[in-house]
Structure 1
Amino acid sequence: MLNVTITPHREFLPADTVEQKLFLMMKMRPTKQVASSRPSTAFVLLIDTSGSMDEVVIGNPQATGRTYYDDGKEWMEVTGAKSKGEIVIESLLALVHSGKLSQRDKIAIIRFNEQAMPVIGLTSATEISQLEGAIAQLRHCSGGTRIGNGLRQALSTLSDQQMTSCRTLLFTDGQTIDEDICRELAREFATKNIPITALGVGDFNEDLLNDLSDITGGRSFHVVTQNTSEVAVSITDLPNKIIEEFTLAQQDVVTNLALAVKTVKGVQLTRVLRAYPSQAEFPLNQDPNPIGNASANDETIFILEFTMESRPASRIRIAQLGLTYDVPGQNKRGELPIQNVVVQFVAGQNFAAQVDQEVMGYVQQCNIAQLVSAAARASEVGNSEQAEKFLETARQMTQRVGNEAMTQSISTAQDELRKTRKISPDTRKTIKMGAKGKTIKMSTSIDDEILEEQIRQASGT
């Protein structure tokens, strides 16, 4: 049901070397039969309706001369422009009228400010009039922002869904005071296999949204009012982005991937990352580790990073891997036979110097996000010289792997840094979120019909 190959970044590792790394690529692709078994979906749209969502972001506002009171303040009515809230409403209406949803798709809408208020429970996407009425209830915006209350309500809505591709789409434009609660809740989302797609516009904490998407195996995006980067999402393109996220949920034909890893003494699993089609770094606080879903008609690629103590020249098994998963379209569960990770340690450096370029291409792309975050931290404390070094290394990596859009975004940040000795908040958000959301596919793909014996041979078992 699921084709898997396992490839180390090196066939041979140097013996008698302290604290060295092994990067293991797990490449997954559903079989053609599984790829054609479309799952049902359950999608929660979690919408920030705090007062700041009434901010006008598009058009040329013209005063009507009328005023009104809302949220304890006096506001002047304008025409000829659109607020963030109005654009979100248009985007959700575009989704329900897109023609891409069927009776197998369900939508729930939750609005939140300081409190979370369900607008409509899980409803068939074909009940368009009901959904239209629910979307209209998002027009009134007021109050502050507590994302945790909204997440808790979304988790309650989706937690009992079985053999269904679930997802929560969070749209927010503000800071929240309960970040610790949000991260705790995200771990529960991960356990229930509910990825969070986080879209932020305006004054939000990109580190929080990146953490929510990382922990749950989702994605995160910087939504901008004036698009100057291909790795950001223009607010005028928000309808297409929301439709795209729903389409991705429909393509998650393999769900609830759970990875069990048992290492020998002196070997530690230090990171588990999804490298393609988008990036996420999963926390290592569960056994087995939930690592999200696998999409139809494309590969899903993970990188496992091991840290090893010094070893003499020998051929040894350093770890065993186990994998279980669901195929919701066929109402089945599957598993990959236990895979042995065997490493050949050799004396000298000649053999050990050879690396698998495909594996290292994905490792490098995952490291770009770390470099960009390090540059942002250095800039914030006034160390512009160190920030420039991090950015230049990241730019060279993006150039090497052919990610032109990310190269351009990093170059923009470098220009700002040279002129002002700082990276602006908007540029910081774009490069930090863009580095995780844009992955270039490296060469070599798996045969759809690879046999189990070939899998074992490829993994060295």
Structure 2
Amino acid sequence: TITEQGGTAMSLGMQAGHVELQKHAGTERLSHMLLLTDGQTWGDEEVCRTVARDMGTAGVRITALGLGAEWNEKLLDDLAEATDGNSDYIAEADQITTFFQRTVKDAQGTAATNARLLLRLVREATPRAVHRATPTIANLGYQPIGTNEVAVKLGDLVIGQTNSIVLDLMLPSRLAGSFRMAQAELHYTPVGLTTEQVIKQDILLAFSSDPAAPAYEPRVMNLVEKVTAFKLQTRALAEAELGNTVGATQKLRAAATRLLDLGELELAKTTQAHAEQLEQGQSLSAETQKEIRYATRRLTQKLDA
């Protein structure tokens, strides 16, 4: 007897997929699951999270893609995060092929796994936040290891793909000159090997007393501005969920201004329209929230048309 229950038990598909991946697992191979959903899973979200954690422990990466507006982005984000994978939003069905091709290309181009960055900061430095800027924007957080030492998980490294982070920290003023701010250690495991490799690099910061000296590097500032827009929209959506319409509207307007300055005209226009929608007492639809959230994550990674 077949009984309709209004949903799909996603965990069953994940478990079946994991079984198939285990049949071909090996140190010379990468295991990657591409998960596509257009709706809610049926009563097994915590099971899905448990399965994802088990897969992450086994070295499997999950790329979780949601089509349309009816799926739970928190769940897909959690599944991807548990495996150092990725999650994304597909607005229209005709975009599926583009997302699939990108995922397969990245998997085929993976050069190293389990990359992490260890930063040994000078005593006067106080870290506040770490965001990935490319290939997509994300709040990485950081794990304090000891006094002035933090570790950041980077995941897989893909050939031809630039990985950059924005580190927000506080430093006291100094005399003019170049000073070592931190020593960075990149830890990673090349595909096909089991031994971790380490690259060390000093991070220098130049202080200047010359008023005419450039205040910033344009490319770096562009990344900082895009990360700032991401942080503003993240906070705006959180405020909207809590019912703080005023706070959400202010942050969306601020994000729209940043996006306009960055030349992201369409996204700026959309964000501004949603701010006006909130101001008029209308709530943001699930589709609107997904559109804002994922489009801002992709500010540094333009999808092919």
Give the alignment partner of residue 164 of structure 1, picking from 29, 39, 50: 29
In the alignment, the residues of structure 2 paired with residue 286 and residue 162 of structure 1 have an alpha-carbon distance, to the nearest angstrom, of: 30
Give the alignment partner of residue 157 of structure 2, picking from 275, 294, 297: 294
In the alignment, the residues of structure 1 paired with residue 66 and residue 139 of structure 2 have an alpha-carbon distance, to the nearest angstrom, of: 19
In the alignment, the residues of structure 2 paired with residue 114 and residue 278 of structure 1 have an alpha-carbon distance, to the nearest angstrom, of: 30
2:138 aligned with 1:280, yes or no?
A: yes
1:198–1:213 Cα contact (<8 Å) kept: yes
| Greater share of helix | 2
Identity of aligned residues (%): 21
Superimposed CA distance per residue, residues 316-368 of structure 1 (whole angstroms, 9 cap, x where no aligned partner)? 32311111334437x5978564211233445x683687111101111221222
In the alignment, the residues of structure 1 paired with residue 133 and residue 26 of structure 2 have an alpha-carbon distance, to the nearest angstrom, of: 27
1:168 maps to amino acid: M
Question: In structure 1, what is the equivalent of residue 148 of structure 2?
Answer: none
Deviation at 1:159, TM superposition (A): 11
Judging changes above 3 Å, is the alpha-carbon distance between structure 1 residues 119 and 210 closer, same or farther for their aligned structure 2 residues? Answer: closer
Question: In structure 2, what is the equivalent of residue 198 of structure 1?
Answer: 64
Judging changes above 3 Å, is the alpha-carbon distance between structure 1 residues 169 and 368 closer, same or farther for their aligned structure 2 residues? Answer: farther
SS of residue matched to 2:35: strand
1:260–1:323 Cα contact (<8 Å) kept: yes
1:182 maps to amino acid: R
2:203 maps to amino acid: V
1:210–1:220 Cα contact (<8 Å) kept: yes
Deviation at 1:376, TM superposition (A): 1.6
In the alignment, the residues of structure 2 paired with residue 318 and residue 376 of structure 1 have an alpha-carbon distance, to the nearest angstrom, of: 34
| Aligned positions of 1:54-203 closer than 5 A | 70-71=3-4, 112-113=10-11, 117-118=15-16, 121-122=19-20, 157=22, 161-172=26-37, 173-174=39-40, 178=45, 182=49, 189=56, 194-201=60-67, 202-203=69-70
In the alignment, the residues of structure 2 paired with residue 158 and residue 274 of structure 1 have an alpha-carbon distance, to the nearest angstrom, of: 34
In the alignment, the residues of structure 1 paired with residue 142 and residue 135 of structure 2 have an alpha-carbon distance, to the nearest angstrom, of: 21
1:221–1:434 Cα contact (<8 Å) kept: no
Structure number, greater radius of gyration: 1
In the alignment, the residues of structure 2 paired with residue 254 and residue 116 of structure 1 have an alpha-carbon distance, to the nearest angstrom, of: 25
2:169 maps to amino acid: T
Give the alignment partner of residue 257 of structure 2, picking from 396, 402, 406: 396
In the alignment, the residues of structure 1 paired with residue 24 and residue 205 of structure 2 have an alpha-carbon distance, to the nearest angstrom, of: 41
1:171 maps to amino acid: L
- Gaps spanning 5+ residues in structure 1: where? 1-67, 74-83, 86-110, 124-156, 224-232, 442-461
Deviation at 1:198, TM superposition (A): 1.8
In the alignment, the residues of structure 1 paired with residue 248 and residue 181 of structure 2 have an alpha-carbon distance, to the nearest angstrom, of: 37
1:221–1:433 Cα contact (<8 Å) kept: yes
2:117–2:153 Cα contact (<8 Å) kept: yes
Higher RCO by CA contacts (8 Å cutoff, separation 6 or greater): 1
In the alignment, the residues of structure 1 paired with residue 40 and residue 266 of structure 2 have an alpha-carbon distance, to the nearest angstrom, of: 27
2:126 aligned with 1:261, yes or no?
A: no
Q: Number of matched residues?
A: 293
Give the alignment partner of residue 321 of structure 1, picking from 184, 190, 200: 184
2:128–2:170 Cα contact (<8 Å) kept: no
SS of residue matched to 1:118: helix
SS of residue matched to 2:158: coil
In the alignment, the residues of structure 2 paired with residue 246 and residue 326 of structure 1 have an alpha-carbon distance, to the nearest angstrom, of: 20
In the alignment, the residues of structure 1 paired with residue 152 and residue 23 of structure 2 have an alpha-carbon distance, to the nearest angstrom, of: 20
TM-score by length of 2: 0.75
1:307 maps to amino acid: L
Superimposed CA distance per residue, residues 389-413 of structure 1 (whole angstroms, 9 cap, x where no aligned partner)? 2112212222322334533442442
Question: In structure 1, what is the equivalent of residue 95 of structure 2?
Answer: 237
- Gaps spanning 5+ residues in structure 2: where? 146-150
In the alignment, the residues of structure 1 paired with residue 124 and residue 55 of structure 2 have an alpha-carbon distance, to the nearest angstrom, of: 31
In the alignment, the residues of structure 2 paired with residue 357 and residue 183 of structure 1 have an alpha-carbon distance, to the nearest angstrom, of: 43
Judging changes above 3 Å, is the alpha-carbon distance between structure 1 residues 177 and 332 closer, same or farther for their aligned structure 2 residues? Answer: closer
Deviation at 1:417, TM superposition (A): 2.5
SS of residue matched to 1:437: helix
Deviation at 1:373, TM superposition (A): 1.8
In the alignment, the residues of structure 2 paired with residue 199 and residue 374 of structure 1 have an alpha-carbon distance, to the nearest angstrom, of: 23
| Aligned positions of 1:405-444 closer than 5 A | 405-439=266-300
In the alignment, the residues of structure 2 paired with residue 312 and residue 159 of structure 1 have an alpha-carbon distance, to the nearest angstrom, of: 56
CA RMSD of superposed structures (Å): 4.0
